[in-house]
Structure 1
Amino acid sequence: MQLDRGRLGFGNGARAPYACDSARSRGRLHPEKASLTRSEFQRDRDRIIHSTAFRRLKHKTQVFVAHEGDHYRTRLTHTIEVAQIARALARALRLDEDLAEGVALVHDFGHTPFGHTGEDVLNALLSDDGGFDHNAQSLAIVTRLEARYAAYDGLNLTWETLEGLVKHNGPLLSADGTALSGKPVPAPIRDYNLQQDLWLSSHASLEAQAAAIADDIAYDTHDIDDGLRSGLLSVEMLEDLPLLSGFIRSVRDAYPGLEEARLVHEITRRQITVMVEDVIATALANLDEVRPDSADAVRHAGRPLIQFSEAMAAAEKEIKDFLYTNLYRHPDVMRVRAQASAIVEDLFHAYMQDPGLMGEARQAPDAKRLSAQSRRRLVCDYLAGMTDTYALAAHRRLFDHTPDLR
């Protein structure tokens, strides 16, 4: 699929009619006076960056626990890379770049310590209460748990940013109100939606769709990079993937004898470029077909408009399957995951037994008077907000032995 650069939004600054318009935002749960110097979506982006939850991403696992090496991605560096790709897509498609960037920057706020390992443990421990979902936890953080402003809890983000956070991977409900996942909508989303309807049965804006596919592109490429750096993957293994084998051949033909570190970077940058260009070309074709004349028309299009082509989607699935088999389920990674799981589970039971261990900042002394369900949710919120390093330190304070996670 060929790109016509003349159609792209580089430098002309003109927003497309199907883009979100900050001046027409549906507003905030708590109304605020407009800024003299920033758009509403810029303010959202800035609040996200200055939040405590954003800083915590620095010490949360992407694939490898941070202390295993300084050069592995953390949840923070992954988030920054997603935001860069999302903004590039938004600019090319003449969308609101600040909104796309904001959704990308906030999309992983709800991740637990030790990445998906912590999420799996909390999901199991809260199975009787609807489980744990990191996307729903992100919403809880920005609407309830961040305690920064005098007038309200949370960050008081615009409707469009919250909508993008909740629905960037697609609608949660069908038109008749049935949950599309087969499970009930997570409680934090359901409860907030009673205060401010986020249109859970529609698709999200193009800006949020750009953030979602940027997430796929980022970890499809950078998890391979980290896997190669760790030694758990090899360049030879990548030759089984048709998309990547072509990059390997072209780089080796152009630069015979190139050292592996540079070879890997050249593969990664080519992969990102090809995937981004494929998404842009496919999105333009979809927009030509649907011809939405507003952001709401995008929401009611009945399908995502920013996506991979069929060929790239197949190649991308091959990459995901490869990573799942060879990296995420590698025995060395699984060993660390098992150790991390034990840490999260130990802490959960310790805090449930004695909520005072969480400290007065969490109103823990009053937790003994809560119902078992409310106490579990309080402990979950506390644990989910921990970084890897804080969870390890907390475990060392409470238990005689803490795994090294190596």
Structure 2
Amino acid sequence: MSASFEGIGFGYRPRAAYACDPAMTRGRFYPEPESPTRTPFQRDRDRIIHSTAFRRLKHKTQVFIAHEGDHYRTRLTHSIEVAQIARALARALCVDEDLAEAIALVHDFGHTPFGHTGEDALDAMMKPWGGFDHNAQSLRIVTRIERRYAEFEGLNLSWETLEGLVKHNGPLTDGEGRGLKGPVPDTILHFCGLFDLELDRYASVEAQAAAIADDIAYNTHDIDDGLRAGLLSLDMLEAVSLPGGILTAVRERYPALDAVRTGHELMRRQITAMVEDVIATSRANLDELQPYSPADIHSAGRPVVTFSPAMAAWEKELKTFLYANLYRHPTVMAVRENADRIVRDLFGHYFANPRDMPEGWREGLDRAEERIKARDVADFIAGMTDTYAIKEHRRLFDRTPDLG
């Protein structure tokens, strides 16, 4: 399959038969005239970048609370780094770079303030009404919550971008519709009843590239932030196979290099090693599968963009190390405990007093049934930045936990 935009200003042709072809898109929920100068996937990327949700990522926690330092990653800088890696993978695998980039840029839209702490707190508070899931929240944002266009709610993204957003980590159901990792959130089920994203099938190569780019980015850059925060040290990394082997090579070649630049050299080499491993392994997977269309990727029954078995084992070891020594570090956990209280306090207050929410959010909630009120309160809190959540807590409560 190929696509040609010759004569309408694109000059772009997907090179692989299994690439998502923008000329063959399955369309948008609300039909729109196509752009004469941009492919559908380029328009998706542009809409994502210009959205309010994208800007809010600037002040949302990755690992460290945003105000702890100017150089730590936020959800925004992380998303940009993921997009860069996703584009590199897409280019090497001869698929649509714009689609891979769009999925990478939108994948964290549904994250709450204070990272996974905020998500866990909202999920606990929302348990009576279906819980909270950041992936489902991302879908709510791009199909409902964003209000920028005169003719529709949301961003009206193409089917391929929405599919990649919902399924970038793999299918959500089996062939009988049963959830593979527990119940599928109602938001996703409801939307798929209107615009079927084929939850039992694998997503595109572009979506799979974005997903593994996410792993590469945070496995590497969380080390960088951990070193900067003083919670990790280069000596600690010596015992972990992937960074340890790279660190040994860097020290052998540059024995007089200072610790900061040694860390940077480690980061760039680790990204390169992981990216090159994915490219080589994925090419081998594709050669074995011999897909002739995106449909062959959807029905493959397994992912095709993967680490090699050796790299997968090293990556799992690194994740285990980071959970034990960074994400669960006492300093991080103390901040998480206080952040958890802020989110729970805000939810409880707004649920009981919806009139304290801003105009545009509070209308009618004092008369709404509990399920609707709870979901709207969760939508409001999930959209908050760290700084706004702290500000609101200070406005509503006498004492706000210290996150500094």
In structure 2, the partner of 1:287 is: 286
Query: In the aligned structure 1, how far is the partner of 2:41 from the partner of 2:242?
Result: 36
The one-character-per-residue Cα deviations of 1:58-94 (angstroms, maximum 9, x if unpaired) are 0000000011110000000000000000000000000
Query: In the aligned structure 1, how far is the partner of 2:370 from the partner of 2:247?
Result: 55
In structure 1, the partner of 2:262 is: 263
Query: In the aligned structure 1, how far is the partner of 2:229 from the partner of 2:13?
Result: 42
In structure 2, the partner of 1:403 is: 401
C-alpha displacement of 1:365: 3.3
In structure 1, the partner of 2:224 is: 225
Query: In the aligned structure 2, how far is the partner of 1:322 from the partner of 1:286?
Result: 29
Moved more, 248-257 or 191-200: 248-257
The one-character-per-residue Cα deviations of 1:153-200 (angstroms, maximum 9, x if unpaired) are 00000000000000000000101111101x221011111111100000
C-alpha displacement of 1:13: 6.3
Checking the alignment, whether the CA contact within 8 Å between 2:346 and 2:393 is kept in structure 1 is: yes
Query: In the aligned structure 1, how far is the partner of 2:285 from the partner of 2:311?
Result: 15
Give the residue type in structure 2 aligned to 1:399: F
Instruction: Provide the aligned C-alpha RMSD in A.
Output: 0.9
In structure 1, the partner of 2:271 is: 272
In structure 1, the partner of 2:131 is: 131
Checking the alignment, whether the CA contact within 8 Å between 1:106 and 1:138 is kept in structure 2 is: yes
Work out which of the residue numbers 384, 390, 393 in structure 1 matches 2:391: 393
In structure 2, the partner of 1:376 is: 374
In structure 1, the partner of 2:109 is: 109
C-alpha displacement of 1:14: 5.0
For the residue of structure 2 that corresponds to 1:360, the secondary structure is coil
C-alpha displacement of 1:404: 2.1
Query: In the aligned structure 2, how far is the partner of 1:366 from the partner of 1:82?
Result: 39
For the residue of structure 2 that corresponds to 1:108, the secondary structure is coil
Going from structure 1 to structure 2, the CA distance change for 1:124 and 1:14 (only over 3 Å counts) comes to: closer
Is 2:179 the counterpart of 1:184?
A: no
Query: In the aligned structure 1, how far is the partner of 2:30 from the partner of 2:24?
Result: 16
Give the residue type in structure 2 aligned to 1:129: W
In structure 1, the partner of 2:160 is: 160
For the residue of structure 2 that corresponds to 1:121, the secondary structure is helix
| Moved >4 Å (runs of 4+) | none
Give the residue type in structure 1 aligned to 2:371: Q
Checking the alignment, whether the CA contact within 8 Å between 2:60 and 2:385 is kept in structure 1 is: yes
Query: In the aligned structure 2, how far is the partner of 1:344 from the partner of 1:105?
Result: 25
Going from structure 1 to structure 2, the CA distance change for 1:303 and 1:320 (only over 3 Å counts) comes to: same
C-alpha displacement of 1:15: 1.7
Query: In the aligned structure 1, how far is the partner of 2:225 from the partner of 2:208?
Result: 26
Checking the alignment, whether the CA contact within 8 Å between 2:281 and 2:305 is kept in structure 1 is: yes
Give the residue type in structure 2 aligned to 1:388: D
In structure 2, the partner of 1:17 is: 17
- Identity across the alignment (%): 65
Query: In the aligned structure 1, how far is the partner of 2:165 from the partner of 2:287?
Result: 26
Checking the alignment, whether the CA contact within 8 Å between 2:14 and 2:21 is kept in structure 1 is: no
Checking the alignment, whether the CA contact within 8 Å between 2:140 and 2:187 is kept in structure 1 is: yes
Checking the alignment, whether the CA contact within 8 Å between 1:147 and 1:154 is kept in structure 2 is: yes
Give the residue type in structure 2 aligned to 1:259: D
Query: In the aligned structure 1, how far is the partner of 2:226 from the partner of 2:65?
Result: 13
Give the residue type in structure 2 aligned to 1:112: T
For the residue of structure 1 that corresponds to 2:363, the secondary structure is helix
Query: In the aligned structure 2, how far is the partner of 1:405 from the partner of 1:393?
Result: 12
Checking the alignment, whether the CA contact within 8 Å between 1:89 and 1:210 is kept in structure 2 is: yes
Q: TM-score if structure 1 supplies the norm length?
A: 0.96
Q: Structure 2: which 5+ runs fail to align?
A: 1-11
In structure 2, the partner of 1:5 is: none
Give the residue type in structure 2 aligned to 1:236: D
Give the residue type in structure 1 aligned to 2:85: I
Give the residue type in structure 2 aligned to 1:288: D
Work out which of the residue numbers 364, 367, 372 in structure 2 matches 1:366: 364
Query: In the aligned structure 1, how far is the partner of 2:320 from the partner of 2:183?
Result: 28
The one-character-per-residue Cα deviations of 1:120-165 (angstroms, maximum 9, x if unpaired) are 0011111122211000000000000000000000000000000000
In structure 2, the partner of 1:175 is: 175
The one-character-per-residue Cα deviations of 1:340-363 (angstroms, maximum 9, x if unpaired) are 00000110011011101112211x
Query: In the aligned structure 2, how far is the partner of 1:392 from the partner of 1:126?
Result: 20
Query: In the aligned structure 1, how far is the partner of 2:299 from the partner of 2:128?
Result: 34
The one-character-per-residue Cα deviations of 1:94-138 (angstroms, maximum 9, x if unpaired) are 000000000000000000000000000011111122211000000
Is 2:362 the counterpart of 1:329?
A: no
Moved more, 327-336 or 172-181: 172-181
Give the residue type in structure 2 aligned to 1:113: P
Query: In the aligned structure 2, how far is the partner of 1:203 from the partner of 1:365?
Result: 40
What are the within-5 Å matches in structure 2 for residues 69-148 of structure 1?
A: 69-148=69-148
Checking the alignment, whether the CA contact within 8 Å between 1:100 and 1:211 is kept in structure 2 is: yes
Query: In the aligned structure 2, how far is the partner of 1:265 from the partner of 1:359?
Result: 44
Moved more, 377-386 or 242-251: 242-251
Checking the alignment, whether the CA contact within 8 Å between 1:13 and 1:94 is kept in structure 2 is: no
Q: TM-score if structure 2 supplies the norm length?
A: 0.96
Query: In the aligned structure 2, how far is the partner of 1:397 from the partner of 1:131?
Result: 27
Give the residue type in structure 2 aligned to 1:373: R
Moved more, 234-243 or 103-112: 234-243
Checking the alignment, whether the CA contact within 8 Å between 2:14 and 2:96 is kept in structure 1 is: no
Report the count of equivalent residues: 393
In structure 2, the partner of 1:26 is: 26
For the residue of structure 2 that corresponds to 1:386, the secondary structure is coil
Query: In the aligned structure 1, how far is the partner of 2:321 from the partner of 2:13?
Result: 40
For the residue of structure 1 that corresponds to 2:121, the secondary structure is helix
